[in-house]
Chain A
Amino acid sequence: MADLTDLYQQIIIEHNRSPRNFKKLSAPNRRALGDNPLCGDKITLEVQLDGEVISDIGFQGSGCAISQASASLMTSAVQGKTKQEAEALFRRVHEMLTSATTVPVEPSSVGKLAALAGVRQFPMRVKCASLSWHTLHAALQAAATPITTE
């Protein structure tokens, strides 16, 4: 049976309480809005892209612990990465969030983001965890319209 501590791991609780990169950038050149209308989770993601490198990234918004911690973990993970590296990480996290619970998570492939793996056992909450990642994807693709994971 799914256990609450699988979902609300200490790292999630901690990132929700003190989110990293919760900030507005002074001169972002990519921005995307992410919105889960049914939940009310909302984030604004700003990226400063220097060439191919994410030289700074920040998010603002409100939502549940999972969405906020996921945005905090995501922004920490892609800081300083190239667009391609970030997109590759997006795909690995997406795979982790949507794979069967029996598929083991290889920590080396996603690092700290493995903390999000517990979300798989709570299908109603997967979209909370994936919101910031879809928003990042939209920002990097310079998608102009608000995106949603619902």
Chain B
Amino acid sequence: MAARRGVTSTHRAPAPAARASLDVARLRADFPILQTSVRGKPLTYLDNAATSQKPRAVIERLARYYAEENANIHRGVYYLSERATAAYEGVRAQARAFINARETREVVFVRGTTEGINLVASSWGRHNLQPGDEVLLSAMEHHSNIVPWQLICEERGATLRVIPMNRRGELLLDEYARLLGDRTKIVAVAHVSNSLGTINPIPDIVRLARARGIPVLVDGAQAAPHMTIDVQDLGCDFYTVSGHKMFGPTGIGLLYGRAERLDAMPPYQGGGDMIKSVTFARTTYADLPAKFEAGTPHIAGGIGLGAAIDYLTRLDRDLVAAHEQDLLEYATARLAEIPGVQLIGTAAHKASVVSFVVEGVHPHDVGTVLDQEGVAIRTGHHCTQPVMDFFGVPATARASFAFYNTRADVDALVSAVRKVRTVFA
């Protein structure tokens, strides 16, 4: 069965005794929620692709901001406002370094990846799409990288085209190259698929598009928690992430855009903070990035995101990657051993996301049984209905791992999935 591909006996071997390995026990102690129990069982949190847990450093930073620094930014002349402004803008500089943007003004604060994509689809799309133009997406996009484009395509008379994938959940690059044409105006793809775990070959995708002068937007929501992001190395024009999936607060995220692209785009929303001057006759807009940041932002969220970036950058990302890869391989092998379990998404290059179905049992029933065992996973279509249709399943169960997960978490998952088989025997 294709879905089992990649599973070999070598995966049963214990984690290699690496010279250095991630001190997971110490890291787990940084996350208060991981010390809690649910339904009388220790929490096994395996829904990190939906949202990650927060380290104490982030939680305490939020509290400290509200307790000691709360003021509106960019407008007060008093001490507190100055301090809040410095903290918030300091995060922008941190974020620039985190994604390796050239300039700080290329970093726009947004609510999350969804808003980042909507901003580009709406502002760039309204300015650049003409009837007959094409927007090229991939078959594995999250609804948030489909619907904003559908909306703008409908408005502008443009058409969506889709890069197909194979049964392992890998994009077909030959097809992609064929789809890129004179009518293609932008390419929008996920760096990592939220429902399949596939890591897409962004540098290849960007190279082919840029050879034709076509901009590329990358949905980085699922990549940022797992890997180092370098937007210059990737070469993309836009890259967007959600803070809450990378151990930061909800309601805050980042949109990177090449300065020349952002400069050429009209504002997304109007309001305070995004203007130079306003009269009833005419308004002139602020420079980047303020042009795209109307209204009082999520100041606390931004500052909390700064604490999350601090936390992440202090980790050895290579050790994190090795640990997560071990969890992925271990979970893949252990789940594949269970009769009736089929893995959905078996790409050669994957992040630590394992989607599966249990024969004869609906994923929601799987989720409820697992919940009784203290195992939190996501069940459903994961906001990727076209992916579910492609694989011919109504939904999947999905376990997604973060660096603080362990092989013991995988064991809890596996034993709970075995229990599903007995409940529905």
Contact = CB atoms under 8 A, between A and B. Distances in A.
Interface stretch (B126-134, B171-179, B302-310, B365-373): B365-373
Interface string A1-20: 11010011000010000000
A128 interface: yes
B394 A63 contact: yes
B75 to A, nearest CB: 41
A64 B364 contact: yes
A39 interface: yes
A8 B363 CA distance: 14
B365 A65 contact: yes
A84 interface: no
A125 interface: yes
A125 B368 contact: yes
Contact of A40 (B39, B40, B395, B424): B395
Contact of B395 (A39, A66, A128): A39
A62 interface: yes
Given A13-B424, A62-B394, A39 B364 contact: yes
A4 B39 CA distance: 12
Contacts of A128: 364
B307 to A, nearest CB: 32
Contacts of B369: 4
Contacts of A66: 364-365
- What class of interface size applies to chain A in its complex with B? 20 to 34
A40 B381 contact: yes
B380 A39 contact: yes
Contacts of B40: 1
Nearest to B394: A40
B362 interface: yes
Interface string B349-383: 00000000000011111001100100000001100
Nearest to B424: A13
B423 A38 contact: no
B294 interface: no
B388 interface: yes
A64 B423 contact: no
Nearest to B372: A4
B39 A1 contact: yes
A40 B368 contact: no
A37 B10 CA distance: 40
B380 A4 contact: no
Contacts of B381: 40
B423 A8 contact: yes
A148 to B, nearest CB: 15
B385 to A, nearest CB: 8
A13 B423 CA distance: 9
Nearest to B373: A4
Nearest to A42: B394
Contact of A63 (B362, B372, B388): B362
B27 to A, nearest CB: 30
A65 B380 contact: no
A29 B369 CA distance: 39
A64 B380 contact: no
A2 B381 CA distance: 26
Given A40-B380, A40-B395, A64-B365, 8 more contacts: A4-B368, A7-B368, A40-B381, A62-B394, A64-B363, A65-B361, A65-B362, A125-B368
Interface of B: 39-40, 361-365, 368-369, 372, 380-381, 388, 394-395, 423-424
30 contacts: A1-B40, A4-B368, A4-B372, A4-B423, A7-B368, A8-B365, A8-B423, A8-B424, A13-B423, A39-B364, A39-B380, A39-B395, A40-B380, A40-B388, A40-B395, A41-B364, A42-B394, A62-B362, A62-B394, A63-B364, A63-B394, A64-B362, A65-B361, A65-B362, A65-B424, A66-B364, A122-B368, A124-B368, A125-B364, A125-B368
